[in-house]
Amino acid sequence: MPAPDRTLDLGAAPSARVIDGDTVDPATQRHPLGAVRAQIHATYIVAQTEDGLVIVDQHAAHERLVYERMKEALAAGGVARQALLLPEVVELEEAAVDRLVQRAAELAELGLVLEPFGQGAVVVREVPALLGRTDAAALVRDLADDLAEVGEVHSLTDRLADICGTMACHGSVRAGRRLGADEMNALLRQMEATPHSGQCNHGRPTYVELKLADIERLFGRR
């Protein structure tokens, strides 16, 4: 193909050249969630598929992956734990401490090891390994809130979705974090390989897809 005449073809050439200079690997694009093209607002991943585009909510998607991995680990005999180098003391209301301590054995099965620590505090010694580096204090406070809702009659496994969901939320990539292309493509590939990854733990979608036909309709081309 002849090179476009830059001096004459001012309107069409630049956009055409962007697509020509496209470095997206066609093989990657053939995956259901496509090839990453951009991250916008440090929160959404935009990917190009063979016949459209996909927008992923990075936090919701990652949270779902962590949650599914926790469920798998539980089914396979327990969630791996990771000891904190420095056990973390978390101050809480007395009632919250009681709720956590009552459930300590169940929480340990989920990978969280804590004990009462004097009055109005617990000490966290181990956290679920798959959460990675996590704010243990914030996690424990949110779990204490969850437990208030669980009540005493239910076992935690009945409310696993809530408890694991809270843990997964703390272990997941936040909105607002910049991600590299490799990281984003890896996230998409993991989503494709993970059951139920199209919905977050609260039932909201983790991604939306626009087919070219949908886009054409938006622009009145169809």
Residues lying near Zn ion in the complex (CB under 5 A) are found at: 63, 169
**Is residue 129 within 8 Å of residue 81, measured between CB atoms?**
yes
Q: Considering the complex, state which of residue 125 and residue 141 has its C-beta at the smaller distance from Zn ion.
A: 141
Q: Considering the complex, state which of residue 59 and residue 103 has its C-beta at the smaller distance from Zn ion.
A: 59
Place of tokens 């204490």: 144
As measured in angstroms, the least distance from the Cβ of 74 to Zn ion is: 19
Q: Considering the complex, state which of residue 37 and residue 64 has its C-beta at the smaller distance from Zn ion.
A: 64
As measured in angstroms, the least distance from the Cβ of 191 to Zn ion is: 16
CB neighbours of 169 closer than 8 A, spacing ≥ 6? Answer: 63, 142, 201
Residue nearest to Zn ion (CB): 169
Q: Considering the complex, state which of residue 34 and residue 57 has its C-beta at the smaller distance from Zn ion.
A: 57
CA 178/CA 6 separation, integer angstroms: 35
Q: Considering the complex, state which of residue 39 and residue 58 has its C-beta at the smaller distance from Zn ion.
A: 58
As measured in angstroms, the least distance from the Cβ of 200 to Zn ion is: 7
Q: Considering the complex, state which of residue 48 and residue 190 has its C-beta at the smaller distance from Zn ion.
A: 190
CB neighbours of 20 closer than 8 A, spacing ≥ 6? Answer: none
As measured in angstroms, the least distance from the Cβ of 28 to Zn ion is: 27
CB neighbours of 73 closer than 8 A, spacing ≥ 6? Answer: 79, 80, 111, 130
As measured in angstroms, the least distance from the Cβ of 166 to Zn ion is: 8
Q: How many helices (H) and strands (E) does the chain have?
A: 9, 7
Question: Closest Cα to residue 128, out of 106, 113, 145?
Answer: 113
As measured in angstroms, the least distance from the Cβ of 7 to Zn ion is: 52
Tokens of 18: 């962007």
Question: Closest Cα to residue 173, out of 162, 184, 159, 157?
Answer: 184
